[in-house]
Structure 1
């Protein structure tokens, strides 16, 4: 299965097509070996967290309609490492006394600005997704961050992250970004998610030489370019753009997954150098030639999955389409959503 770009914490906002159900790479929702301490009381009066042991390391205050962090008595949790305030009604970030925190989650609140986080220098993961934040700022002191999530805010410019050189995963999907910029210092970045923005050009990525996953689905791209320095790239997601030609991938020889579905591509080409290709998503384009399919993919020994549905080569010969693909690509184990039998 391929991931859609703006799905933070198992939230799916963008699928290439109905068949392409997605999984997200924002992992703060995944189960851990030690389940966090659940908190669930009906009021926010003093004593709300009385049942939580002082030495707890995980605190999960989710969907409690919190409007403020005052009176929670968080200062007594001196060993606290992870807090989740997901799905509350918080509109302001108040200073947290827990300097030992490594993970902080404010997903789905009403925050409009970032503040009072400078002292949390041990943070490795910060989730501010699904809020109303317009500017990425006041995170420059958090230099130990490896994961930063800003999905579904109102961010129009990539900025304020130049000091975060330890970032491995940056998620900025479902914002208002038009230009890929100011990412040059993030040389350790491995995953970059920019789906559902207003980006018109692939640029500003040359220094991200450790990037393994790039997702820019549902933008305004017309051309595949600016990727030649990304030699470690393994996954590329470009669905729902206006791309007409598969090109510019000659140096991306480690690519395993390429998603160009729902574009305007008329000819299957530009995949010659991708010897490790295992998944190709090219559904919902304008492909007509089985000869091109054979020429581009027959030598791909690791190819397992192809999607060509809703192209003319499928709609014009629905009765024989699967058999033709299976004959041309005998190693493939999945054609569109169905396994090969």
Structure 2
């Protein structure tokens, strides 16, 4: 619909005009469109059959779509939500919101959706929707930056800044659902760097930090995508191995030990030889108490230290009186 025709249509909608607190004449109705084009948010106007009548300049700037791209609701769904399953779910949710608002004579709550722009970029858009007379008015705001900031804050809250693996808090949050699963095998490993205090004393804490970071990176590289590694504190790390048998956990632990011992760690003062000792524990079936599991892995780690370091011990092979 041409903007002039839309302006005349909106100018004749008494309900819309009263809600906008405007008393437009035919001469001034075009100025409404001019004002909408100046708004800092995207504006979309549909009729009651969900045919798109108008989008303002900010809408096109923000999303890339023009009026020709989204002549009706189906065009919008096809382009903004290209994944068929996601599109079906969002369409069903939208229809349910419309039906509820009509049945209860209430307004549609503000909606946030991640949609695909015309150039393929994904953006998080906040939709404020109101029916005014014979039209649906959509006010669209790009809130992607807010979500990105929130995601960065979550990452900072859950990541050890030195090694870029999970921190202790995140480790135990991840452990909660894993240990509560019904009937799944689970293994846990704990390791620390052998003679790390001597390394710090000899090379300094900055070099020690570099070695910690490299060891963490090497270990993360050989773990499965489903495994979770975290720095629990100091030079001590924990690893959760979901759906992992005792035998598989032992294989993973040996890969970790070898990848650390095989090559000296690089640092600004030169290569630094380093090894790790590993303690492990496994359960054939969850649920299991995470504190008990990690306490057993810790006992196994100390057993590996006492046995000479640069080796692996599992809790099921320990003397129950040892520590």
- Per the shorter chain, which TM-score range? under 0.3
Greater relative CO (CA pairs within 8 A, separation 6+) = 2
Higher strand share: 2
The structure in which a higher percent of residues are helix is 2
Structure showing greater Rg: 2
